[in-house]
Amino acid sequence: MNKAETQLKREGQRSREIFERAEKVLVGGVNSPVRAFRSVGGDPLVIDHANGQHLYDADGNELLDYVCSWGAIILGHANPAIAEAVAHQARRGTSFGVTTELELELAMLISKAIPFLEKIRFVSSGTEATMSAVRLARGITKRDFIVKFEGCYHGHADSFLSRAGSGLATLGIAECPGVPQVLAELTLNVPFNDLQAVEKAFSAHKGKIAAVIVEPIAANMGVVLPEPGFLKGLREIAHRNGALLIVDEVITGLRLRNGSAQELLGIEGDLTTLGKVIGGGVPVAAYGGYAELMNHVAPLGPVYQAGTLAGNPLAMRAGIAALKQLTKPGLYERMTQLAERLVSGLRVELSAVGIPAQINAIGSVATVFFTPGPVRNYADARRSDTKRYARFFREMLPRGIFLAPSQFEAVFLSAAHTAGDIDRTLAAAREALQSIAAEPA
Ligand code: HOZ
């Protein structure tokens, strides 16, 4: 380890001391499991502040951030316009529990970006958005079963916690205790990219499936792209069987373009869920769709969903400030170009040291899978060498590069990342991969 890395390691004392105290009062020292770094080992980060593309830990170490709060921070940390909007609203009141015009303003910005969302309901987390969309689909169709895809993650509502991605895949939790068996049985898991399996599920549960829920680009088993015809086929099968298609764009919504991934992929769900980017780093999520479907939600219809802080003015101001910047010409193209440079550079470095790996990527989102084979579903993703991923993560961190602390997540770029950051990342990757390749097999 070179002098700088030794110094970085030594300076981890304060972070470690804070985390040790946190473990006494917070479960595992964290408020979301993946932050415990269990699958990559070593001390979890404790962050003091952030700016642009950088995080600064409690010991003052600067880290180039490729997690970006799991995709929410698309403009970079402490974005001046968002910070000013939040400060301004904080002085005017943060939450009233009564409607404000700000909710209308953010909804209008979203429906301008995603025109097929005729009506929207704001909630405060991606989990609430997907949970509410499934409840709405069940309420409309009067059916109980849902189809989801192995390795996809739609938040931690009971119906989604079987064979799910993200933190469950990271911790190896296939079936979550605490979910009643009668409820778990209503969730039918099938492989991503497998339309035949979807057909079989509908044949075996004729007239009983309310909806299919899918990430249009899976990003919670690592990034897995839909194969040609898959998403269109899903919509056709669902509609042929009287079910709805819920497209979970909590990660992809306004991430790849100033709009939906659905438009990019040529499909349209009946209901869409959004989150992360639309809140500008403050808790905002939403579900929406055609008015004829959304009007089943209370108070217009009987499908109940509510939230004390839903649409609160503080969060709305942050979302508005974020979305107004996403219309900037060239913003997405530049992020994509940088991501493409990173991906092609990593492929060169991996090949140079003879480490078998696949990189799945689209726009500013990517995952390096340490496996020789293509990754087109969860079974493929799980063949990855997670120990080698963990080594890569731990070789990159002392070099100042913060990657997703799990093989089953994605890395994200923000508008704050620069070409110099990519060069620095590739130089660190070269050293890291040479170190890994030099290890005895
Ligand atoms: N929600 C994210 C799914 N990719 C992971 C972040 C977390 O669970 O804390």
Domain boundaries, the chain: 3-65+329-437, 80-325
**Residue 409 Cα: closest atom of ligand 1:** 4
Identical fold, 3-65+329-437 and 80-325: no
From 27, 35, 66, 70, the mutation candidate for ligand 1 (largest count of ligand atoms within 8 A of CB) is 70
282-307 pLDDT, tens digit each = 999 999 999 999 999 999 999 999 99
Three-state secondary structure call for residue 164: coil
Tell me the percentage of the chain whose pLDDT exceeds 90.
93
Cα–Cα distance for residue pair 27/108, rounded to 1 Å: 39
* Token code pair at residue 131: 């949970």
Cα–Cα distance for residue pair 256/429, rounded to 1 Å: 25
Rounded mean pLDDT, 196-200: 98
CA of 415 to the centre of ligand 1 (A): 21
Cα–Cα distance for residue pair 280/258, rounded to 1 Å: 13
* Token code pair at residue 299: 């108070």
* Domain 80-325 in this protein, CATH class: alpha beta
Residue 7 has pLDDT above 80, yes or no: no
287 tagged catalytic:
no
Between the alpha carbon of residue 101 and those of residues 98, 105, 145, the distances in Å are 10, 6, 37
Between the alpha carbon of residue 154 and those of residues 121, 164, 220, 394, the distances in Å are 17, 8, 9, 28
Q: 3-65+329-437: which CATH topology?
A: Aspartate Aminotransferase, domain 1 (3.90.1150)
CA of 4 to the centre of ligand 1 (A): 31
Q: Phi and psi (nearest 5°) for 177?
A: -60, 150
Q: Which of 57, 59, 65, 248 is catalytic?
A: 248
- Of the given ranges (165-174, 214-223, 262-271), which has the lowest mean pLDDT? 165-174
CA of 18 to the centre of ligand 1 (A): 22
Cα–Cα distance for residue pair 69/92, rounded to 1 Å: 27
Q: Which of 153, 287, 332, 378 is catalytic?
A: 153
- What is the CB < 6 Å shell around ligand 1? 32, 34, 70, 153, 166-167, 220, 409
Q: Provide the residue type at 266 as one letter.
A: G
* Token code pair at residue 111: 């429906």
Tokens 């056709």 -> residue: 236
Stated pTM of the model: 0.96
CA of 54 to the centre of ligand 1 (A): 19
Name 195's bridge partners.
none
Length of the chain: 441
Residue 71 has pLDDT above 80, yes or no: yes
Protein residue closest via CA to atom 6 of ligand 1 = 70
**Residue 155 Cα: closest atom of ligand 1:** 1
* Token code pair at residue 257: 């373009």
CA of 292 to the centre of ligand 1 (A): 32
Find out whether 253 and 269 touch, Cβ atoms under 8 Å.
no
276 tagged catalytic:
yes
